[in-house]
Amino acid sequence: MEKRSKSEVSRRQILQMGLTATVASVLPAGLLTFSSAVQAQGQEPLASWRDGAAKQAILNFVRVTTDPASPKFVSPAERIATFDQDGTLWVEHPMYSQVVYCFDRVHAVVKAKPELANVEPFKTVLSGDREAIAKLPMDDLLKVLMATLTGMSVDDFEAEVKQWLDTARDPRWKRPYTDLTYLPMIEVLTYLRTNGYKTYIVTGGGQDFVRVYGDKVYGVPPEQVVGTASGTSYGYDKEGRPFLTKEPKLLLNDNNAGKPEGIHLMIGRRPCAAFGNSTGDQQMLEYTKAGDRERLAMIVLHDDAKREYAYGPALGLPDTKVGTFTHALYDEAKSKGWIIISMKSDWNRIFAFES
């Protein structure tokens, strides 16, 4: 498989921009729904996006699917858009935030069960030795996830995550993790909702984890968060009050093929638009794009080492432990009409906290 340079990505985008500009030219200007949306937002939509193929693809998609006169019109009830989270809505590098949460929580788990202090993998996590932690095998990592994400009531879990979000800071920007969301993507979420789309997060991360902040951070309510989910069990406390306990029983692994499977389970409709950034999103993008009528599939390319990170084989850079943008994914995107979002070229601003 040949390696692609960033200049080729740009060339492709320029071609796409030409195409979408042609499409735009044959559409009536100032459609009511579109104008209303702009007005409702109180400013130009997608303000943090530079003009280009990616921005035009979003604007055109909304225009043709919300104009009642368009042959591609989609009824409001069917307007479903799904977004991966890690690497698509917020930073995933160098480690998924939820994994950081689990490592941080090990201290509390060991405090409650001191006998774990000398048991692996807890011993290594407590040591704080980053290199040793990074080398923990998958089985050990799973033990950490199970110990920190299950075994408590759903209410206690929510309280624990809230407390962590309030106090934890990422090492690079020294900010709460929820500050590391991409402003241009928040604008897409808002823009789609303003135009009648129901926005869902479809994440490989924990469903209950993302639900704690999904509404506040993304405007996505708990019932619109689909994620990797463990089962719960119903029981009663000493006073006979019912509560749910998070069990170490995997119900849905919401990655790869698990994404369309999870979408069917939780939503029951094929999305009209889907956004991802890695091979974990491949099947969701395929499934979305395979529907009839107009469908939008977009992938975020992490090509901005200065403002965020640059990684992935598609850029000729080494693979990472997190979401991967491979050559194969790049080829599929090209052949199936998925639109690539270049963080470097398409976004004039990445985070809301940037001036």
308 near a copy of itself, rule: CB under 8 A? no
290 near a copy of itself, rule: CB under 8 A? yes
Q: Which is nearer to a copy of itself, 205 or 260 (CB)?
A: 260
Q: What is the CA radius of gyration of the chain?
A: 21
306 near a copy of itself, rule: CB under 8 A? no
> Quick one: which of 38, 267, 317, 328 contacts a copy of itself (CB under 8 A)?
267
Q: Which is nearer to a copy of itself, 84 or 303 (CB)?
A: 84
Q: What does DSSP say about strands 242-252 and 225-236: parallel, antiparallel, or unpaired?
A: antiparallel
Question: Which x/- pattern over 192-211 shows residues binding a copy of itself (rule: CB under 8 A)?
Answer: ------x--------xx--x
Question: Which x/- pattern over 8-47 shows residues binding a copy of itself (rule: CB under 8 A)?
Answer: ----------------------------------------
> Quick one: which of 45, 204, 205, 260 contacts a copy of itself (CB under 8 A)?
260
- Rounded to the nearest 10 degrees, the angle between the axes of helix 327-336 and helix 282-289 is 10
Report which secondary-structure segment, H or E, holds 115: none
178 near a copy of itself, rule: CB under 8 A? no
Q: Least separation, in Å, of the C-beta of 291 and a copy of itself?
A: 10
Q: Round to whole Å and give the CA distance between 129 and 138.
A: 17
Question: Other CB atoms closer than 10 Å to residue 149's CB: what's the count?
Answer: 22
Q: Which is nearer to a copy of itself, 86 or 208 (CB)?
A: 208
Q: Which is nearer to a copy of itself, 5 or 233 (CB)?
A: 233
Is-contact 229 254, C-beta < 8 A? yes
265 near a copy of itself, rule: CB under 8 A? yes
Q: Least separation, in Å, of the C-beta of 162 and a copy of itself?
A: 15
Question: Which x/- pattern over 70-99 shows residues binding a copy of itself (rule: CB under 8 A)?
Answer: -------x--x-------------------
For Cα atoms 202, 283, 98, give the angle at the middle one, nearest 5 degrees.
Answer: 35
Q: Least separation, in Å, of the C-beta of 241 and a copy of itself?
A: 5
Q: Round to whole Å and give the CA distance between 17 and 13.
A: 6
Q: Least separation, in Å, of the C-beta of 261 and a copy of itself?
A: 5
**63: buried, middle or exposed (CB in 10 Å: 19+, 13-18, 0-12)?**
buried
Question: Other CB atoms closer than 10 Å to residue 161's CB: what's the count?
Answer: 21
Question: Other CB atoms closer than 10 Å to residue 217's CB: what's the count?
Answer: 20
Q: Give the neighbor-by-neighbor strand order of the sheet with 198-206.
A: 242-252, 225-236, 198-206, 80-83, 273-276, 296-301, 339-342
- Compute how many residues bind a copy of itself; rule: CB under 8 A: 35
The identity of residue 239, as a single letter, is E
**306: buried, middle or exposed (CB in 10 Å: 19+, 13-18, 0-12)?**
exposed
Q: Which stretch binds a copy of itself (CB under 8 A): 118-126, 139-147, 166-174, 284-292?
A: 284-292
Specify the length of the chain in residues: 355
Question: Which x/- pattern over 210-249 shows residues binding a copy of itself (rule: CB under 8 A)?
Answer: -x---x-----xxx-x---x-xxxx------xx-x-----
152 near a copy of itself, rule: CB under 8 A? no
Structure tokens at 355: 């001036």
Q: Least separation, in Å, of the C-beta of 212 and a copy of itself?
A: 10
Alpha-carbon dihedral 20, 25, 26, 27, rounded to 10 degrees: 90
Could you list the residues that contact a copy of itself (CB under 8 A)?
A: 77, 80, 154, 198, 207-208, 211, 215, 221-223, 225, 229, 231-234, 241-242, 244, 251-252, 257, 260-261, 264-269, 283, 286-287, 290
